[in-house]
Structure 1
Amino acid sequence: MNSQVQAAPVRAVPIDLIRPGSQQARRYFDPAALTELAESIKTSGVVQPVVLRTRVWGFELLAGERRWRAAQQAGLHEIPAIVRDDLSDTEAFVIGLIENLQRESLTPIETAAGLKRLGELFELTHEEIGERVGKSREYVSNYLRLLNLAEPVQALVNAAHLHLGHAKSLAGLPPGEQLRWADVAVRQRLSVRQLERKLAALRARKLVFKPGKPGDWKVLERELSDHLACPVTVQADTSGKGEVRVRFHSLDELDGVLARIGYLVR
């Protein structure tokens, strides 16, 4: 896909005729980084062209919004561009998403939302999404898990108050617990490992079960099934020895189970 973009002719397009696309994955632009890029553009110009589509009102920006914004800030009247009128809405979205992922210019939550949108457009599994964007299944699963975070926690991740590792640990908790532990992690400046250890100790304290009658096992099965979002069976003899079985139907479901028990796919 990138080779197709590079093969198209480059032309100068008036900046004031360009508007960002409605499906742009990127929403946040660091003001300091934007100013730094604008200063570079004043000196060296725009090195890589943006990608556009023609519209009745002008041009829709498909990829390169940061360059376009910085060029405006630098006072440019035109910007080098590749015009791709051969793209469908879906293809245009994919081009923009892949460029942002390759440049690592999206926030973690923007990346997660973009990957989710890609999966919805094409009805893809996590592995198939990874193949489309050149990433592993684990990469996709870990990012999509961030969408389980409460919005205030997502905001902390986007503002870089919490790292991706913190976010993955918090994603398996109920919303109220996410907020509480996110606050603890920020206030105490916990490393990812420190947060993981604290959450593991918390889970160990909670895993206390004392059955009184056979029906208690069924209650436990139902509660575990609800918690893990997969069928769970528990078998035990009178001495207390037994096994717990978790049934899953895909690797994506397995990723969800592992997240809920606190195991992080690396």
Structure 2
Amino acid sequence: ERRLRAARLAGLQQVPVLIRTGEETDLMKLELAIIENIQREDLSPVDRARAFDRLVKEFNFKHHEIGKKVGKSREYVSNSLRILSLPEYIINALSENKLTEGHTRPLMMLIDRPQEQETLFKEILAKKLNVREAESIARHIAVERARKLIDQELIDIEDLFKEKLGTRVRIEKKEEGGRVTIDFFNKEDLRALLERIVADEKVNHSQIEISVENTSSLTDEEEVLIEDQTSKSEDDESLYSVTNFSI
């Protein structure tokens, strides 16, 4: 029907057609309809991937067989199907044209690291990263992860930071000391990070006060010991207080 309308718009009087008769089954008709739909130029990457997926699951087609039917390579079909392995929120964003099909490649590089994948996704939207910039970030994450495999403790600490702060955190270890990098996307994110850090500091301080208040029944020697420990804790707390650091 679409081709008939197109022929009329083009002013054609005759067009070549292939008429199929009753030997077709309903399944064959469905297959032809799906394949014809795939070849539409305005088909979204997600709809195309879902159509390929139907051909695989309902018709047991191999990737190279689908490629032959639609005039594409096996790799093209396989890469399209990989889109469906992404989280639903990324698939929805792709359907809504909030990111391009090219952006899915760096996101799929982090398929086994959901936190970093989500952070990169947010970064693509917030900073309007192009595909090359997103791929550069994804490769950097992969390289850093491989390098840190020799120091599991560093990875564990980094993961704790990410879980606590809800954003990407990178720890770079040097011969002496190192550097901690915390990603944020806007002023609201930065303020939320600061509030989390300050809230933790207040919790720790209140715990110290509670422990001091419960010393009324102790002996003089025990009170002196508690005071010494409390003083040391306060000194340590002051040393690592957020007020002693600059951003």
The TM-score, its normalising length taken from structure 2, stands at 0.49
| Larger RCO (CA within 8 A; separation ≥ 6) | 1
The TM-score, its normalising length taken from structure 1, stands at 0.46
